[in-house]
Structure 1
Amino acid sequence: MSRRSLLFSPGDRPDLMRKAPETDADVLCFDLEDAVAPARKDDAREAVRSVLSDPAFDPDAEVCVRLSAGEPDTDLDALVDPNGTDGGSGRDGGGGGSETGDDLRLDAVMLPKVEAAAAVDRVADSCADRGIDPVVFALVETAEGVLAAGDIASAAATTALVFGAEDLAADLGATRTAEGTEMLYAREHVVLAASAGDVDALDTVHTDFTDEAGLREEAEFAATLGYDGKLAIHPDQIDPINGAFTPSPDEIAWAEAVLDARDAADRADRGVFAVDGEMIDAPLVVQAERVLERAAAAGIRGDDGDG
């Protein structure tokens, strides 16, 4: 599964939510938190439920909803039981025209401001109770959340750690700069925690959606750190982000050559081998496998390069 790009759409804008699959984003995230004014929460919940329950809405992308930080259960209740007829009883509820998780085109939820694994566990239980798959994108965007990132990544329902630099800067009292050095430690810590927990890592938003050059540079740097993808707040950001997290033809050719040479060395019972004059060791083999896995996930190669 490729998660190169995650596009936020405001939950109170059904027109944008329905257009989101046209952007080629790997993940579509309908936002019930920051993008929605408090007075419009109920309208947004109804709009999101309407889109997700529409049989015609069936994109190839992964679909998630960002829940409200202070009231995730209220959001979930509104999605599965808009009329309040079954108390959010999940798969066995039914009746009264209410939805269940099975009726929704919903693959995951995003939980903001996660500061402990227990928060993921609680929302996962709430999802399961309502017939929604307990798959959670955990948004790490406070000092406490960054320090607990390893435990959060290890929660059973966590599928990805999502780094939120803007809220983290506010929490720290840090000044955001174009270079981003004030966020570098936290940014690296989150991707390390995600790798240790064997979950995906998604990088923070680039807030200036008119700055394509800056976005490309930031996304390419995130890829070098080991991130799997990046958040987007505008459809124009999707192609640059996807490009940054998709291996180039030269990278794919190098990876294929490395794995072919590895296989030849294995057949000849040789532990050391070279490709184009470069001595190849185990870390480079792993890197080559990762390149081909990313290529396969992006749909530009038919296998994952296992040899």
Structure 2
Amino acid sequence: MKTPRPFLAPALRRAWLFVPGADASSHTTALASGADAIVADLEEMTAPEDRPMARERIVAMLRETERLGLIGAVRINKLENDGQADLEGIMPGAPHAVFLPHTETTDQLVALDAALSEFERIHGIGHGTTEIVPTIESAKGLVALNALLNVSPRIRCCMLAVEDLAANLGARRTPEGRELLYARSRFLIECIAADCVAIDLPCTYRSTGVLAAELDLAAQLGFTSKCVVFVEHVDAVNRALTPSSDAAASARATLAAYDTQGPYADTSAWIDAPDRNNAKRLLARYEAFQGDL
């Protein structure tokens, strides 16, 4: 098991690992996986008849994430479905965040904010400390994103789904994922504009080659956080989204070379502004991790 550490700030949370709500063994595996955040799922991954048992198991999992200094979260059902019962069952465990599936309207988020405030009062949890993570799974949710992200200060992260979004768009899924490139790009831009961390969609292909290409594109676009649905993907996601010491040393060298190059420097060794800017961003993220981990 990991040793306890302070909770990571939203910008430093890399892998958000989703696990079935009723499967205690998957909770144990997830806790040792290296993921920064564990999300117990009461929606797609838990059958309706299993939800009462799952809520009890999730409370135990949340207490363990608290002990280990991990982010413990739960994806509930929509409030008009089983979501209210989900909250009643899980809030004794004081989840760090609650994911709301199929978020499309501000009314959904206003209602969840009010429900969380009431459960925080009942269970002696600090008011406003339970984060809300909207999950965008449709064109309607994506085009409303600016309004959605400004509903509540509880919203510090937002997640883009993949298969339901592709189905809503009528997109034909491919390992390369070109069919969702615009959606991912727009989602990231909207989140950054709202000062909200964008959690990228999961790679739902188990192939290591597909995952590597997917992570390279995610990092190129600017994502720093990603949903994970296969535990074996956690390590690759963490490595892709965490600057290494070698990468930091290379970034420092790039910055030093940029600062000292003259107007008549050898063009084969010339450092261009995009390379300088990338080096600055990488080094800032590296230093943030050094101070937080």
Q: TM-score, normalised by structure 1?
A: 0.78
Give the superposition deviation at 1:295.
1.8
* Separation of aligned partners in 2, 1:258 and 1:129: 52
Structure 2 counterpart of 1:252:
248
* Separation of aligned partners in 1, 2:275 and 2:62: 43
* Separation of aligned partners in 2, 1:296 and 1:235: 27
**Contact map agreement 2:176 2:210 (CA 8 A) in 1:** no
Residue 261 (structure 2) pairs with residue 278 (structure 1): no
Structure 2 counterpart of 1:95:
none
Superposed CA deviations along residues 148-188 of structure 1, whole A, max 9, x for unmatched, are 12222333221112111210112222221122122111111
* Separation of aligned partners in 2, 1:74 and 1:261: 59
Aligned pair partner of 2:184 in 184, 187, 190: 187
Higher relative contact order (CA 8 A, sep 6+): 2
**Contact map agreement 1:52 1:106 (CA 8 A) in 2:** yes
Residue 282 (structure 2) pairs with residue 291 (structure 1): yes
Give the superposition deviation at 1:259.
5.8
SS at match of 1:28: strand
Residue 22 (structure 2) pairs with residue 12 (structure 1): yes
Residue 196 (structure 2) pairs with residue 199 (structure 1): yes
- The 4+ residue runs of structure 1 with deviation greater than 6 A are none
Alpha carbons of 1:71 and 1:284: their partners in 2 closer, same or farther (altered >3 Å)? Answer: farther
Identity of aligned residues (%): 31
* Separation of aligned partners in 1, 2:163 and 2:197: 20
Would you tell me which structure has more helix in proportion to its own residues? 2
Structure 1 counterpart of 2:3:
none
Structure 2 counterpart of 1:84:
none
Structure 1 counterpart of 2:5:
none
**Contact map agreement 1:112 1:140 (CA 8 A) in 2:** yes
* Separation of aligned partners in 1, 2:166 and 2:279: 35
Superposed CA deviations along residues 10-50 of structure 1, whole A, max 9, x for unmatched, are 10012221331211101111111110012211111122123
* Separation of aligned partners in 1, 2:236 and 2:285: 16
Superposed CA deviations along residues 59-80 of structure 1, whole A, max 9, x for unmatched, are 2321111111233222111123
**Contact map agreement 1:161 1:190 (CA 8 A) in 2:** no
The one-letter code of the counterpart of 1:295 is Y
* Separation of aligned partners in 2, 1:61 and 1:293: 23
Give the superposition deviation at 1:261.
7.6
Aligned pair partner of 2:85 in 74, 90, 95: 74
SS at match of 1:179: coil
Aligned pair partner of 2:103 in 93, 100, 114: 114
Structure 1 counterpart of 2:156:
159
Aligned pair partner of 1:218 in 214, 239, 242: 214
Q: CA RMSD in A?
A: 2.8
Residue 62 (structure 2) pairs with residue 52 (structure 1): yes
**Contact map agreement 1:72 1:123 (CA 8 A) in 2:** no
**Contact map agreement 1:64 1:110 (CA 8 A) in 2:** yes
Alpha carbons of 1:123 and 1:249: their partners in 2 closer, same or farther (altered >3 Å)? Answer: same
Aligned pair partner of 1:3 in 2, 13, 24: 13
| Structure 1 segments unaligned to the other structure (5+ residues) | 81-98, 266-271
Alpha carbons of 1:18 and 1:221: their partners in 2 closer, same or farther (altered >3 Å)? Answer: same
Aligned residues: 269
Alpha carbons of 1:185 and 1:46: their partners in 2 closer, same or farther (altered >3 Å)? Answer: same
**Contact map agreement 2:257 2:271 (CA 8 A) in 1:** no
Give the superposition deviation at 1:249.
4.1
Residue 143 (structure 2) pairs with residue 147 (structure 1): yes
**Contact map agreement 2:16 2:38 (CA 8 A) in 1:** yes
Superposed CA deviations along residues 49-106 of structure 1, whole A, max 9, x for unmatched, are 233346x8622321111111233222111123xxxxxxxxxxxxxxxxxx4xxxx352
Superposed CA deviations along residues 258-277 of structure 1, whole A, max 9, x for unmatched, are 66689x79xxxxxx9x9x63
**Contact map agreement 2:175 2:205 (CA 8 A) in 1:** no
Superposed CA deviations along residues 221-260 of structure 1, whole A, max 9, x for unmatched, are 1111111122111221101111111224454224334666
SS at match of 1:130: helix
* Separation of aligned partners in 2, 1:204 and 1:190: 10
